Structure formats: structure tokens, C-alpha cells
């Protein structure tokens, strides 16, 4: 029995130590961004596994966890998610704080903290997980859950800002092209995004609002349609100096996607949610949920990595969109230069990079626990449930509000640069 108390942390330690040994044996320091993303991905996978497979066997045997009588199978699953997520976010928050102000590769923190000492960082990463699993209090985890809701909201807002910046950068890059083909591509892309949005709205009305009794879904879809129309009209107004149709089309498509995602997150028992053949087949439901969960978590890891390496505080138009993925996966000449005494400005904000992963860990915990509303009989995939529905629908209006501010701010404050 005592051995079972630490079975999960011990296995985590074993796997992590093996990974750290491999890192130590490598002749060259691995790319910093890709390696930190891999650490975060492993932590996310561990959190998911603990929620669905290992939480009760480990936490139930620790007498000081759940001793107040609230303990149930669902409660232990939620606690496992919070503890693993808290350890991950603490690690990346600490890295973010330690790297504040790192602007040049000659800074000793560049090599000592961000791109080096991988064995020490992995050991610290594992030690934090062991600490929060073995010694963190139930009250402390409830406080972390409250903080995670705020951190998750901030993570979503940052994602929205980056999407908007990408849309403006895309428009500026193609509109400045000297060949007529760039303008033609701009028009085709704009029309394609508006057409896709219209098609999605038609699909939502047909599938999720089949009759007048589905008042909630009708209201959600209609409000999104009205928002997109209003934003497009304001974009065309002469006072909107930053107004362009391509960013407007991108925002419309993104808001439409968020609304569609909110509707698909409704519980499978909701009458106005269309039942698929997977919902009717219990044998297929669990594998389908596993695939959905895996895809969602991979998307979060990718989104966190892309957001973290973006030039968030000084956003400019990228010179080459084709090299973004390659640069995100490999630090390239930055890693090679780091082996010597090279100096020069860093390519991205190290502190913000780690901050994004800390916030993404909080967001993942909310996804895995249904924003803290997971029930014992919950068999839905992550990202499902009414809490997720309202978070996504709120994101629609938050995106619209941010874009609206981008349009009206230059007119309201003509003496300021935007």
C-alpha cells in the first residue's frame, strides 16, 4: 500500500530522468523552443493520463487528500489535474520571472536558463510535480483553480490579439505587393472567408436550430451574425482608418468558428444538439472522445508555442510566412551562435515565451475539468459542457470588441500611433 501512494510520481520521475539522461548525452544543446514545448506536451499528456487512468490509485491512498469527506472519483480526477497543472505552470512562471529583461544573447541567462542546464530543469520540473502531488493541500488547489480560470481567460485573449495581428499583417503584406496577383489573391481570400462564414451559419441554423424551441442556439447564432455584420459595416466606414475587408473577413470567420465550436461543445444529452452515429454507439463514443481530446491538447500545445515565440510586444509584419513553422521548431542560427560568445538581440521575448506556457497549463486544466464543473458521470470529451459553451461564446464577443477597438481607436485618438 505505501508503494502505491507514490506509484504515479515515481513513474513520472523515472520517465523524466530517462529523458534528462538522453538530453545530457546529446553532443549539442537541443533547440530551446522545441524542447520546452516537448516538456509542456509531456506534462499535458501526464495530466490527461492521470485524470482518466491514474488519479484514484495514487491520490486516494494519501490520507491528507480528500479527508474532509468530499472525496469522490470525479473529485480525485479533478485534483490530479489541478496538481499536475499547478506544477507545470509554477515551473514556467518561475522561468518567465527569471528571464525578464533578457534582450541580448550575451546575457548569461540566455544560455544558463533558456537554452542550457536541461538536466537541472528537468529535475526541477519533476520535483515540482512530486511536491504538488504529495504535499499540496486541498485548499491550495482550490485557490489554484480560481487563479487558473483567470489565467485561462488571459490565454484566450492573447490568442485573439495574435489572430487579429496576423490578419492585419496578412492584409498589409499582400496589399503592398507590386504585382496585380497579390491584390487578386487578397480579393479571392476575402471572398472565400466570407463565403465560408455564410456556409457555416447556414449549417448551424439547420443542424443546431432545427425548430423554434431551440431558443438558446438561435440566439447564439443570430447574435454572432449581427456582430459580424456590424463589424463589416464599421470597417467600410470612412472614419475607420484601419478598416480593410480582409481583416474583417478573417475576424468574421474566426467569430463564426468560435460560435460553431461553442455549439458543438453542448452536452450530447441536449435536445437541440444533433446526435451523430457516434453518440448513438457507445462502443465508438470512447475512442472518438480520445481522438477529440488528443487533437484538442495538440492544438493547445501548438497554439502556446506559436503565441510564445511571437513578437507580441512589438508586432510587425513578418517578412516571410513560409519560414514561420521551420523557425518555430528550430532556433537555427540562434542555437549555433549560443555555443560561442556571440551576441546580438534575441529573436523573441524569452519571458513572454514561458509565460504563455504557464497560462496554457492553466487553460489545459480548465479544459480537462470542464472549467471546474466535471461531474462523476461525465463521459464527454474535453472542451464539452455548458461551461465550455459559454466561454467560447464569450470569446466571440471579446474578439469582436478587440477588433472594434482596433477600428475606432485611431479616430478617437488621432495624435497617437496604433
pLDDT in tens, 211-225: 888 899 999 999 999
pLDDT of residue 94: 94
pLDDT of residue 60: 58
Question: What is this structure's pTM?
Answer: 0.73
pLDDT of residue 103: 85
pLDDT of residue 181: 79
Place of cell 453542448: 266
Are 149 and 366 in contact by the 8 Å Cβ rule? The answer is yes
pLDDT of residue 223: 95
Show Cβ contacts of residue 146 under 8 Å, excluding neighbours closer than 6 positions.
Answer: none
Low-confidence ranges of the chain (pLDDT < 70): 1-30, 54-75, 243, 275-293, 295-296, 305-342, 372-384, 416-418
pLDDT of residue 193: 92
pLDDT of residue 325: 41
pLDDT of residue 168: 83
- Cα angle vertex 76, ends 71, 81, to 5°? 145
pLDDT of residue 69: 52
pLDDT of residue 284: 53
pLDDT of residue 328: 44
Q: Give the model confidence (pLDDT) of 372-389 as tens digits.
A: 665 554 555 555 678 888
pLDDT of residue 10: 40
Amino acid at each position: 500500500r505505501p508503494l502505491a501512494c507514490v506509484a504515479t510520481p515515481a513513474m513520472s520521475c523515472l520517465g523524466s530522468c530517462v529523458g534528462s539522461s538522453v538530453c545530457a548525452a546529446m553532443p549539442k544543446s537541443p533547440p530551446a523552443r522545441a524542447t520546452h514545448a516537448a516538456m509542456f506536451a509531456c506534462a499535458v499528456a501526464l495530466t490527461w493520463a492521470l485524470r482518466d487512468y491514474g488519479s484514484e490509485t495514487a491520490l486516494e491512498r494519501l490520507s491528507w487528500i480528500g479527508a474532509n469527506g468530499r472525496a469522490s472519483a470525479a473529485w480525485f480526477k479533478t485534483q490530479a489535474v489541478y496538481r499536475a497543472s499547478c506544477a507545470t505552470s509554477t515551473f514556467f512562471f518561475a522561468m518567465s520571472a527569471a528571464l525578464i529583461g533578457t534582450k541580448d544573447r550575451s546575457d548569461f541567462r540566455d544560455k544558463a536558463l533558456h537554452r542550457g542546464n536541461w538536466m537541472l530543469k528537468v529535475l526541477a520540473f519533476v520535483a515540482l510535480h512530486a511536491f504538488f502531488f504529495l504535499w499540496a493541500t486541498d485548499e491550495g488547489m482550490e485557490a489554484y483553480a480560481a487563479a487558473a480560470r483567470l489565467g485561462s481567460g488571459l490565454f484566450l485573449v492573447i490568442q485573439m490579439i495574435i489572430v487579429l495581428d496576423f490578419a492585419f499583417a496578412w492584409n498589409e503584406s499582400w496589399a503592398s505587393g507590386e504585382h496585380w496577383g497579390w491584390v487578386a489573391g487578397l480579393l479571392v481570400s476575402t471572398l472565400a472567408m466570407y463565403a465560408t462564414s455564410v456556409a457555416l451559419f447556414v449549417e448551424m441554423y439547420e443542424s443546431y436550430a432545427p425548430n423554434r424551441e431551440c431558443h438558446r442556439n438561435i440566439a447564439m447564432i443570430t447574435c454572432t451574425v449581427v456582430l459580424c455584420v456590424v463589424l463589416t459595416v464599421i470597417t467600410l466606414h470612412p472614419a475607420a482608418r484601419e478598416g480593410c475587408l480582409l481583416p474583417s473577413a478573417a475576424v468574421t470567420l474566426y467569430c463564426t468558428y468560435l460560435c460553431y465550436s461553442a455549439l458543438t461543445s453542448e452536452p450530447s444529452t441536449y435536445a437541440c444538439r444533433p446526435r451523430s452515429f457516434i453518440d448513438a454507439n457507445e462502443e465508438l463514443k470512447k475512442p472518438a472522445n480520445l481522438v477529440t481530446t488528443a487533437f484538442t491538447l495538440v492544438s493547445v500545445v501548438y497554439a502556446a508555442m506559436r503565441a510564445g515565440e511571437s513578437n507580441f510586444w512589438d508586432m510587425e509584419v513578418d517578412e516571410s510566412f513560409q519560414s514561420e513553422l521551420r523557425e518555430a521548431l528550430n532556433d537555427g542560427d540562434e542555437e549555433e551562435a549560443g555555443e560561442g560568445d556571440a551576441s546580438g538581440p534575441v529573436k523573441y521575448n524569452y519571458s513572454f515565451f514561458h509565460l504563455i506556457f504557464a497560462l496554457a497549463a492553466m487553460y489545459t486544466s480548465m479544459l480537462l475539468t470542464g472549467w471546474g464543473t466535471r461531474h462523476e458521470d461525465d463521459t464527454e470529451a474535453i472542451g464539452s459542457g455548458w461551461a465550455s459553451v459559454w466561454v467560447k461564446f464569450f470569446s466571440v464577443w471579446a474578439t469582436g470588441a478587440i477588433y472594434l477597438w482596433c477600428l475606432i481607436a485611431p479616430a478617437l485618438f488621432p495624435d497617437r500611433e496604433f
